[in-house]
Amino acid sequence: MINFGDLYSVLTAVVPLYVTMFLAYASVKWNIFSPQQCGGINRFVAIFAVPLLSFEFISRINPYKMNLKFIAADGVSKVLTLIVLFLWTNLSKKGSLDWAITMFSLSTLPNTLVMGIPLLKSMYGDDKESIMVQAVVLQCIIWYTLLLFLFEYREAKNLILTAYEKDSSNGSISSSNNSNSQRNEGSFREGQERVERSTCNEDDIVNVILSTPSNPHMLQNLNRVAPALASAVEDDKRELHLFIWRCRCCTSPGVCEQSIEVCSRENEKAESMEDLNTIRSPGSPEMLKKILKMVCFKLVKNPNSYASILGLSWALASCRWGIKKPQILENSVTILSDAGLGMAMFSLGLFMASQPKLIACGNRLAAYGMVARFVAGPAVMAVASIAVGLRGTILQVSIVQASLPQGIVPFVFSREYNLHPDVLSTAVIFGMIISLPITMLYYILLGL
């Protein structure tokens, strides 16, 4: 049973985080930090503090002494949650990828590092601390990486769909209403051509439709860009479509000379729009290929992708051959990783202060979040643990661990990608307040 000393050890781990959070909250209210500075602080946490914290924690474990049944139960519970959310997203009219990602964070990623280790060590003894450490390591290596993949997948999908929708709408407007077409202000000004532009990120895609290219200067420019197309225009008087990629570096009208991609279309507008609609369909292989290519490119650039791999690699080598990190490297990593949780809570306090009300997401969403965190999560974990054969104290530890409050790192990611940070912030703040009596209730009920 938990005594006052055990309760005090939990409070010593939790209270400093709230002190940091309220300090950040007050700093915004006193106009010490601007919104831009608050965003920069969260960016620092996501790019530097969290990866180094993950690396430091993972590199200290012994991968050769892991509880395989507990690892299996944790993995099965999260996979079951993903399957249910995937079916809900694809089969239900109310399902959405955005809420599936948020619900996965709420129901499967508890705050094991800050509250779980001291609380469960007090409940079940020092020998169960290694179980909590394994849970944290699994989160960092597998589930935070998967969470990043889902965030990047969502962002890439939305970006590509938006770009194609703009391109499609611009094309349909031009074909239905020629009065809205513009004349090119560059070197094609005097020819009989129409220009359509659609912005994609920082660049322009210009569709120049040439019908009677009578301007010699225009042909000269076209010959410089694409000689084969220039000769085709001179020999063939049919309408020609040029899709020209113009980078933002252009400072003068006309065609950018630094990076150009030109493709011709001869009376193929209907066919092109049909191909575009095929690519835009959510389940098309072309769309999936584009999305996965963007996701892989972004994940390669994200330090969080490397932190888990490097930490696990070092742990494997260190435990196998007894290698220790050089003291310079150890201190360099520790000085930032120690600030990881504190800076994450500081970012949470900054976000709270920028919201118009204390419960940023509203009472209804806050209640849903609490149910997902403290009811759905432990229930799925109980089913998975029993299914893989966990019994006795380890079964109780797995269920109580799943009933811990919301993790801080998922909030950092949600704010970085701007996906329901109000819901995650509410879950972290109020989850840490009400988690102690809830975990005590689970502890008592499972001990009966």
Mean pLDDT of 308-325: 87
| Residue 279 within a domain | no
Most confident of 140-144, 275-279, 305-309: 140-144
Verify that 292 and 143 share a domain, yes or no: yes
pLDDT at 103 (0 to 100) = 94
Domain boundary among 224, 241, 274: 274
The answer to whether residues 311 and 256 belong to one domain is: no
Q: Give the whole-angstrom CA distance, residue 422 versus residue 414.
A: 9
Task: Quote the tokens at residue 350.
Answer: 């900054």
DSSP per-residue string spanning 184-212: -SSTTTTSEEEEEEEEETTEEEEEEEEEE
Least confident of 73-77, 266-270, 399-403: 266-270
The pLDDT, as a whole number, for residue 248 is 46
Amino acid at site 127: D
Confidence of residue 204 (pLDDT cuts 50, 70, 90): very low
Percentage of the chain surpassing pLDDT 90? Answer: 14
pLDDT digits (tens, 9 = 90+) for 102-118: 999 999 999 887 777 77
Residue type, position 410, single letter: P
Same-domain pairing of 342 and 207: no
Residue 92 lies in a domain: yes
pLDDT tens for residues 244-270?
444 444 444 444 444 333 443 344 444
The arithmetic mean of pLDDT across residues 330-347, rounded, is 81
Q: Is residue 236 domain-shared with residue 305, that is, in the same domain?
A: no
| Low-confidence winner among 62-71, 222-231, 329-338 (lowest mean pLDDT) | 222-231
Please tell me the least confidently modeled range out of 29-33, 78-82, 233-237, 406-410. Answer: 233-237
> Judging by beta carbons within 10 Å of its beta carbon (0-12, 13-18, 19+), is residue 293 exposed, middle or buried?
exposed
Q: Give the pLDDT confidence score for residue 132 in this predicted structure.
A: 83
pLDDT reported for residue 171:
55
Q: Bigger pLDDT: 427 or 221?
A: 427
- The per-residue DSSP string of 338-400 comes to TTHHHHHHHHHHHHHHHSSSSSTT-HHHHHHHHHIIIIIHHHHHHHHHHHHT--HHHHHHHHH
Whether residues 351 and 385 share a domain: the answer is yes
Residues 231 and 295 in one domain: no
Asked whether residue 228 carries a pLDDT value surpassing 70, the answer given is no
Please compute the mean of the pLDDT values over residues 177-190 and round it to a whole number. Answer: 43
In a domain, 174, yes or no: no
Tell me, yes or no, whether 56 lies in a domain. yes
Confirm whether 320 is domain-assigned.
yes
The whole-number pLDDT of residue 127 equals 75
Residue 402 domain boundaries: 4-162+285-447
Q: Average pLDDT for residues 17-30, to the nearest whole number?
A: 85
| Inside any domain, residue 106 | yes
- pLDDT at residue 379 greater than cutoff 90: yes
Q: Is residue 292 part of a domain?
A: yes
The last residue of a domain, from among 231, 246, 274: 274
Same domain, 141 and 92: yes
Domain boundary among 210, 242, 274: 274
**pTM, to two decimals:** 0.69
Categorize the per-residue pLDDT at 216 as very low, low, confident or very high, splitting at 50, 70 and 90. low
In this structure, the answer to whether residues 146 and 290 fall within a common structural domain is yes
User: 401 to each of 270, 383, 406, 412, how far by Cα in Å?
Assistant: 58, 14, 11, 21
Q: What is the pLDDT of residue 149?
A: 92
Q: How many domains does the chain have?
A: 2
pLDDT of residue 373: 92
Say yes or no: 268 and 348 in one domain: no
**72, 183: one domain:** no
- Plot region of 247 (φ>0 → left; ψ -120 to 50 → alpha; else → beta): beta
Q: For residue 400, what is the domain's CATH number? A: 1.20.1530
Are both 11 and 144 inside the same structural domain? yes
Residue 80 lies in a domain: yes
Residue partners of 426: CB distance under 8 A and separation at least 6: 359, 360, 361, 365, 366, 369
In the predicted model, is pLDDT for residue 383 greater than 90? yes
> Domain check: are 205 and 58 in the same one?
no
